[in-house]
Amino acid sequence: MFFGVLTGIAMHITLFAANVLGMSFAAAYGVGLLAVGAGLTALGALATGAFGAQPAMRTPQAQAVVNQSTGPRVRGYGKALLGGTRAFWDSKSGDLHQVIMMHSGEIDAIEHIRVGDIVASLNSNGDATNGALSWDGNRAVRIRQHLGTANQSADSLMTGAWSGVWTAQHRLRGIAYMVARFRSPPAEEYNKIFPEGAHTPVRALCRLTKIWDPRTDTTAWSDNAALCILDYLTHPDGYRRSIDDIDIQSFVDFADVCDESVPLAGGGTEKRYRLWGVYSLNDEPQSVLSKMRAACDAELYQTAEGKIAIRGGTWTTPTVTIAPETILGHTMDQGNNRFSAFNELKIMYTSPEHDFQTMEAQAWIDLADQAERGPIPSDLDLDFVPSPSQARRLAKIHIAKSNPRWKGRVVVNLTGLNALGERAVRIIMPELQIDDAFFISGFNIRPDLTAVELEVISIAQAAYDWTTAEEGQNPAIPQETTPDLEFPVPQNLALTAPAEGEVLSTVDDPGRDGLTLQVQIRAGAGANWLAMETQPDGLTALITGLPPGAYQAQARWLGPQNTAGAWTFPYAEIDTTEEP
């Protein structure tokens, strides 16, 4: 009977690995009769890219706006700056229309839209009211937004402009998208409004997927890492597991851990584990899940009922002890209390403060070891992590796991079955002066069912302790380098006739560098405008050789990239026949 029970346990877990992880039965069985590791290392191995998984899409890549007939579908959690695939791109009567598909599935909200590098201020009709996206009161850009609801209607801007081409059936249900209309400005305004021409990108800062929270039984936007992982495991575009396959209480407990407040060096707090990032539906689920787990130090494991559970992210005191009298043998190696395979850890994360680009948090460096062996770098890629503090906390845990004081294998009698499903155990070995907590990285029952073999690495609570001093120096927030293309209108334009045939214009100092004065003059309505020569002081302009008569003048400021502000109005006027 006892043999049958153990065989049943072994077969159940092997079949679980085959079913949940997508492995064939032969492959799962070949891993080892109970090779499920730290609770469920088979799932953990899958999530770290085992079994041939390819690298997943990186979050910054989702900003690109591309022309493809079948572009990649993307989905994500938290917040992201999204471009997308143009489903339509054509012009009519000088207006360019484009439909940009951003996200597969409904999103919660669009916080703002950028045209090029300019955050567009949109009125109720979707027109960008920014001066930099307008000319002489004409609005060059109109944006319509759709969140990807199941019942959304076709876009009226498209059906109105492209009747018969874009119809009421073009609803794009379940796809979050934008419609952008670019209206052609005068040539002198073109570079200001559309710095990249017709291909000037339109991108949106979005709050992405709304997810279910079992703590409140509500579905809403959340960046809680545990809830994001739960959604991915059960979503049709993820692992497609049934809720019945999930140990919900473990996700409830881990969600509470993720929501804990952690102090920041600069003041205030942030949630312990947030998850912001996007993935392509072409990505291997293993790679996506690996990045999600890395954002919160999560482990997925199998419960006694065969359900998928989650844990990690914080210190848990072991409740199972491996006593000396239960140990049949061991092979233990002592570490050197330094980075085991590296002495400089480069920590990469996705920074909202840097336009959702990949940034480097302050590296962890072992200067003493570098003095002996030279720099030995390693990378920790945290693409789904949105803050340097969270990245550094995860890096500290990663270093502790990579550089254990002890690691090896312990052979235990069948009391070792008590460790099945445990994340950590306490091991006592008086001969090695060991009385420490160990993570279980591998768990096997011998085929003859005489003993349990544990692969273990020592871990200390200090790996999860945290002070704001450990946050390090965060990457500097870049200064705004986008040129200000919204120019003031010249103030107090005035004309005088300093000598016969001359007219001199003056304006007030705008109090701003980088502007050049442009003034034009004409002999009344309908006459051609003549350019006045701007003087070295930058605030006056002169024209000579004019016959006596009545004249009108207008002025404006020119800026970088051949851009210009609005002309003054009403015109300044002078009658040189009346001048002394």
Which tens digits make up the pLDDT trace of 218-264? 999 999 999 999 999 999 999 999 999 999 999 999 999 999 999 99
| Calpha distance 524→552 (Å, rounded) | 6
Peptide bond between residue 386 and the one before it cis (omega within 30 degrees of 0):
no
Q: Examine the pLDDT at 37 and tell me if it is beyond 60.
A: no
Whether 556 and 567 have beta carbons less than 8 Å apart is answered as yes
Q: How confident is the model at residue 366 (pLDDT cuts 50, 70, 90)?
A: confident
Minimum mean pLDDT range among 55-64, 375-384, 408-417:
55-64
| Calpha distance 543→99 (Å, rounded) | 50
Minimum mean pLDDT range among 27-36, 256-265, 465-474, 496-505:
27-36
**Which contiguous run of DSSP H or E holds residue 98?**
strand 95-104
Q: Examine the pLDDT at 299 and tell me if it is beyond 50.
A: yes
Q: How confident is the model at residue 190 (pLDDT cuts 50, 70, 90)?
A: confident
Whether 207 and 86 have beta carbons less than 8 Å apart is answered as no
**163 DSSP 8-state letter:** T
> What is the average pLDDT across 139-162?
96
Q: Give percent of the chain above pLDDT 70.
A: 87
> What is the average pLDDT across 145-157?
96
Between the ranges 43-47, 69-73, 253-257, where is the mean pLDDT highest? Answer: 253-257
Q: What is the pLDDT of residues 511-568, one digit of tens each?
A: 988 899 999 999 988 899 999 999 999 999 999 999 999 999 999 998 876 677 889 9
Q: How confident is the model at residue 36 (pLDDT cuts 50, 70, 90)?
A: very low
- What's the predicted TM-score (pTM) here? 0.79
Burial of 143 (0-12, 13-18, 19+ CB in 10 A): buried
Strand order through the sheet with 452-458: 321-322, 424-429, 434-445, 452-458, 406-412, 327-334
Domains observed in the chain: 2-57+211-312 (no CATH), 84-200 (no CATH), 494-578 (2.60.40.10)
Minimum mean pLDDT range among 96-105, 179-188, 265-274:
179-188
Number of H helices, E strands in the chain: 10, 36
More confident residue, 413 or 37: 413
Cα 519 to Cα 84, 493, 522, 546, distances in angstroms: 43, 10, 10, 15
> What is the average pLDDT across 395-419?
92
Between the ranges 13-17, 138-142, 292-296, where is the mean pLDDT highest? Answer: 292-296
Q: Examine the pLDDT at 50 and tell me if it is beyond 50.
A: no
pLDDT at 23: 33
More confident residue, 372 or 558: 558
| Calpha distance 410→508 (Å, rounded) | 84
Q: How confident is the model at residue 191 (pLDDT cuts 50, 70, 90)?
A: confident
pLDDT at 197: 87
Q: How confident is the model at residue 507 (pLDDT cuts 50, 70, 90)?
A: very high
More confident residue, 478 or 458: 458
| Calpha distance 166→172 (Å, rounded) | 11
pLDDT at 578: 73
Average pLDDT across the chain, whole number:
87
Q: Examine the pLDDT at 48 and tell me if it is beyond 50.
A: no
Show Cβ contacts of residue 190 under 8 Å, excluding neighbours closer than 6 positions.
184, 197
pLDDT at 3: 37
Q: 176: helix, coil or strand?
A: strand
Phi, psi of 49 (to 5 degrees): 95, 25
Q: Give percent of the chain above pLDDT 90.
A: 69
Whether 40 and 68 have beta carbons less than 8 Å apart is answered as no
Q: Examine the pLDDT at 338 and tell me if it is beyond 70.
A: no
